[in-house]
Amino acid sequence: MNGRRQDEDTAAGRLAAVARSLAIKMERTGKYPPDYADFRAALEPYLRRELLLARIDEARKTAATALTTRMKELAVELFECDAAIAKADPL
Q: What pLDDT, in 10s, does the model give residues 4-19? A: 555 678 888 888 888 8
Task: Locate all alpha helices (DSSP H) within 1-91, ordered by sequence.
Answer: 4-7, 11-29, 36-60, 64-88
Q: Is the pTM of this model over 0.75?
A: no
pLDDT reported for residue 5 = 54
Comparison of pLDDT for 91 and 88, the residue scoring more: 88
- Which long-range contacts (C-beta less than 8 Å, at least 24 apart) are formed by 80-84? 81/45, 81/48, 81/49, 81/52, 82/49, 84/45
pLDDT reported for residue 58 = 78
Are 52 and 80 in contact by the 8 Å Cβ rule? The answer is no
Where exactly are the structural domains of the chain? 4-88
| Integer Cα distance of 28 and 30 in angstroms | 6
